[in-house]
Structure 1
């Protein structure tokens, strides 16, 4: 589910204020976007490589280069690439993924244990929003909406874990 990835992006906002929030959200789910692109256009041959170590290193480097070119700051490029890398680190907790194309699979596969995945995702959402709340550029009225945002994110995660997984 994307809620944990988005929460990490929101938490990173505290340190990467010069990047638009949309860019942080993009970087946090870039491997899934690549995965979807490969599903829509099988001729690209992307397949399962998007979440493998070589695939994620390539994606992190590409996002870093694009960020450096667009925003002209190496620190921001490094931060965006770390968001891409965080995606797969978290996915190895929740999923069962190949280490490389055709290689062995690894991960805790918490999706198979919905309550455990829900606890991990909810904790990630809480930490991400707590960090985001401390972002110096976040205005006071927006802070009040963080509780509602957290409730929506946790609610969507609950639907994912307890409704969709069982059906």
Structure 2
């Protein structure tokens, strides 16, 4: 659900304007980045928990603390932490993941039904970009680019869901 995660970050910008877009995008995919880091450096021992509730909560707190230290605003810190949590919440829609290590597997697993996953992602992209485009400080040239971003995100999502050679 990368496009959906990015769309959530874009939408969150409406309320978290002082945070750089890169910060928002990072927070929105932090569990996946953490997962990759755990795979690359197994001695860190973080891999199995990145997409569990305890792992996501720990990551959200860590990102919130770093955000609070860097930007010195609790509201921004809470927003960045919520973006981390939004990642796992969204993944429970698209995947089946354990609630905790060796815990029960939950989720709708929409990846198994590509058209349903695509519709969820497309809706998330539409809402996220609508929120982004309505951000009060967004300049007019950037607003004109939102439609192009939407087409690009939907195209990437279609390739993810349906592939290039599915004809």
Matches within 5 A, 1:86-165: 86-163=86-163
Residue in structure 1 matched with residue 54 of structure 2 by the alignment: 54
1:2 aligns with 2:2: yes
CA distance in 2, matches of 1:39, 1:159: 26
8 A contact 1:48–1:98 mirrored in 2: no
Give every structure 1 segment of 4 or more consecutive aligned residues whose post-TM-superposition deviation is greater than 6 Å. none
Matches within 5 A, 1:14-53: 14-53=14-53
Residue in structure 1 matched with residue 77 of structure 2 by the alignment: 77
Unaligned runs of 5+ residues in structure 1 are none
- Deviation of 1:48 after TM superposition, in Å, equals 2.3
Please list the CA deviations of residues 23-69 of structure 1 after superposition, one character each: whole Å capped at 9, or x if unmatched: 00000000000001011112222122100010000000000000000
How does the TM-score come out when normalised to structure 1? 0.96
Higher mean displacement: 34-43 or 75-84: 34-43
8 A contact 1:27–1:81 mirrored in 2: yes
Please list the CA deviations of residues 91-124 of structure 1 after superposition, one character each: whole Å capped at 9, or x if unmatched: 0000010100111110000001100000000000
- Deviation of 1:153 after TM superposition, in Å, equals 0.2
Count of aligned residue pairs for this structure pair: 166
Query: 1:51 aligns to what SS in structure 2?
Result: coil
Residue in structure 2 matched with residue 66 of structure 1 by the alignment: 66
- Deviation of 1:90 after TM superposition, in Å, equals 0.4
